[in-house]
A and B are shown apart, each in its own frame.
Chain A
Amino acid sequence: MNIQDIQSQFIIEEYHQKLPIIERLKTIVLQLLESNLEQNHLEVTSINCRIKTEQSLSGKLTLKSGKYHTLYDITDILGARIITFYTDDVDRIAAMAEQLFNIDWQNSVDKRKLHQLDSFGYNSLHYICRLPKSLYFDPECEELNLIPFEIQLRTTLQHAWAAINHDNGYKSGVEIPREYMRRMNRLAGMLEMADDEFSRIRTEINDYRRRVQQLVKNGKIDEMMLDDETFRSYLDAKPLERLNRRIAAITQAEIQEVPLLRYIHILKVLGCNTIGDVNRLIKEYEEDAYLLARHQLGMTDLDIIASSLGLQNICIVYIIKQGGGKIGLERLFNALNGENDQNAALAELTFEQAKSLPFMQNQNF
């Protein structure tokens, strides 16, 4: 038996000796994490805590022979893993862990930041922690504050990739050809994009929800008569943003912001008396308004649009679907353009274009 073997044997014995304390630390850490996640309203996919098995510990000691002198040199003898829905939450929970525990920065690693600009792969945040006395202290068992433990933080998608990559890499016992590794890493890049998009969607939905809640808080939209003030407040909630972005995407156009207050008169003529009416109009006709824009802009290279386009097309579609015909459109263009002989021709052209769209298929002309 060489010196490394003796050291390993000593660590295994220490492991058996300290197991009850580690078990106790596991319960404390798990409770602390769960209660703080709840207090901070952080929803996670899963949280679990495990103690390294003797088999796994022996394997590690063999693999890294001579590196470890005592049990507490092994920083992941106790490990907690938190899987989040969103990538933003990894950072929020990391901040929470920083507040709670003493972080051993020298041994902690953010794998997300280790990648080169052109490489993708395992993404996870690993913090090596100790329990601070200020948080939990038992004079009968001071070792609880000395044992290092690891917290791994990653998203569900990062976890799925890591788990599958681990499964493929270790199960077969043969070296994985470079081509398959490249394909796995390509998937990691794709999942990173998906993670970012999920976070962005959540942020945008929350913003929208807050704006609408604020609007509703100020007064029920069906009781808000359509006027300059209420319409301006309503537009603050950006109810047309999604439609305008979809339209802009047709030609990768930039969106030029335009005041929409001139539409109040038009909306009133179309029968909108309250903000609730406007909201319903937008919701009901936005898809058809998009189809009209796609039909008109799709074959052009016009890469600039006004932010009024979404609402304008909603009005056009509404007029056509309500049977307002060319005369209705001419009135709309007169209101938008100012009265002009050409508006009749424009109304006719728009009407003819709209006739071929799906939403007009059941209409009688």
Chain B
Amino acid sequence: MTTTIKQDGNRYIACFSGRLDTAAAVQTAEDIKPLLQVERSEIILDCTDLEYISSSGLRIFLTIRKESTARGSRVIVRNINTDIRQVFVMTGFVSLFEIE
């Protein structure tokens, strides 16, 4: 599981690749920390290469959303595959995130 963060002006793109499960969550939580400091920006969580997400992964997304919204940023989840989209539906997380 890898997480890379790119900055493009006032937009931050976090690219997740691999399986965001409980084992990967600790490192991913560290990797996304810079995003939690961002203010009044657009934050894209790019899931093009994300294969799987567990509850731990959902909690990381939730942390990003909470911190970012509090700092006036907007969070968009992008390119989730059908399995992950189903997880978002099954848990009701579709109502929490802006999904593109």
Q: Tell yes or no: B12 within 8 A of A by CB.
A: no
CB-CB under 8 A from A345, the residues of chain B are 82
With A302-B55, A304-B55 already in contact, the answer to whether A342 and B95 are too (CB < 8 A) is no
Which of the residues A312, A349, A350 comes within 8 Å of B92, measured between beta carbons? A312
Q: How far is the CB of B60 from chain A (nearest CB, A)?
A: 11
On whether the beta carbons of B89 and A350 are closer than 8 Å, the reply is yes
B23 contacts A by Cβ under 8 Å: no
CA distance A110 to B69 in the complex (A): 51
Check if A346 sits within 8 Å of B91, measured CB to CB: no
Verify if A317 is at the interface (C-beta below 8 Å from B): no
B48 at the interface (CB under 8 A from A): no
- Whether A256 contacts B90 by the Cβ 8 Å rule is no
A258 touches B55 (CB 8 A): no
Whether B92 contacts A307 by the Cβ 8 Å rule is yes
Main secondary structure of the interface of B (DSSP, over half): helix
- With a 10 A CB-CB cut-off, give which of A263, A340, A342, A343 has the most chain B CB atoms: A342
Contact with A along B65-100 (1 / 0, CB 8 A): 000000000000000111001111111111110111
Q: Are A312 and B95 in contact (CB under 8 A)?
A: yes
Q: How far is the CA of A338 from the CA of B76 in the complex (A)?
A: 11
B95 to A260, Cβ gap below 8 A?
A: yes
Show the binding face of B for A, using Cβ within 8 Å. 54-55, 58-59, 62, 80-82, 85-96, 98-100
Which A residues contact B (CB, under 8 angstroms)?
A: 253, 256, 258, 260, 262-263, 293, 296-297, 300-310, 312, 333, 336-338, 340, 342-343, 345-346, 349-350
Please list 8 pairs of residues, one from A and one from B, whose beta carbons are closer than 8 Å in the complex, sorted by A's number: A262-B95, A296-B90, A301-B55, A304-B59, A309-B92, A342-B82, A346-B82, A346-B89
